[in-house]
Amino acid sequence: MSGLVIYRTPIAPEWIDYNGHVRDAYYALITSYAVDRLMDHLGIDARYREQTTCTLYTVEMHTHYLREIGARDTVEARVRILGADGKRLHAALELFCDGKPDAAASCEVMLLHIRQNPTPRTAPFPEKIAAAIAELRRMTAAMTAAGPGSRRIELGNR
């Protein structure tokens, strides 16, 4: 397994572009929804956000588009925790279409824990959330990447 299954979705018709497949930005939307589920899994859920005004901001996202996703596909997102510190979380998300063994996309995100009130500022993860991150990291550390990881984009790469 290449990661913990965290989210599944069919394809909305409006995600298909003039090329006849899912537009690049909607791969990012699926990844973004998968990060929402990851937040729920770690306890950074709606209740926590409301009570603390703390949340995660995405500071970087790097996606490799590996295969086309079509209108009739169902996509599964799998997550691995690549690293974390007191206020940041580095995660890999990979998208798979049901019935197809190869990843359709591999993505890395850097997420930052922010207290929004009174003005957005970085804040340390509470102990309970840090423990949940560490636990998921242990669980997914040995899982294998199904696609390329983040790197500098350049013509020399292929």
| Whether 22 contacts 97, CB under 8 Å | no
**Nearest 10 degrees: Cα torsion 65, 38, 92, 129:** 160
DSSP code of residue 156: G
Binds a copy of itself (CB under 8 A): choice among 2, 3, 75, 150: 150
Among the candidate windows 3-11, 19-27, 71-79, 135-143, which touches a copy of itself by CB under 8 A? 19-27
Under rule CB under 8 A, how many of the chain's residues touch a copy of itself?
42
Residue 60: CB partners within 8 Å, gap ≥ 6? 108, 109, 110, 150
Min dist. Cβ of residue 23 to a copy of itself (A):
6
Distance CA 143, CA 72 (A): 28
Q: Considering only residues 6, 7, 55, 133, which one is a binding residue for a copy of itself as defined by CB under 8 A? A: 55
**Residues 137, 54: Cα–Cα separation, whole Å:** 21
Residues in 115-144 that interact with a copy of itself by CB under 8 A: 116, 120
Angle at 102 between CA 152 and CA 145, to 5 degrees: 50
Confirm or reject binding of residue 8 to a copy of itself (CB under 8 A): no
| Binding segment toward a copy of itself, per CB under 8 A, in 51-59, 71-79, 96-104, 129-137 | 51-59
- Site for a copy of itself (CB under 8 A): which residue of 90, 115, 126, 145? 90
For residue 43, give the nearest of 123, 131, 150 by alpha carbon: 131
By CB under 8 A, is residue 110 in contact with a copy of itself?
Answer: yes
| Interacting residues with a copy of itself (CB under 8 A) | 18-20, 23-26, 28-29, 31-32, 46, 49, 55, 57-65, 68, 83-85, 88, 90, 108-110, 116, 120, 149-155, 157
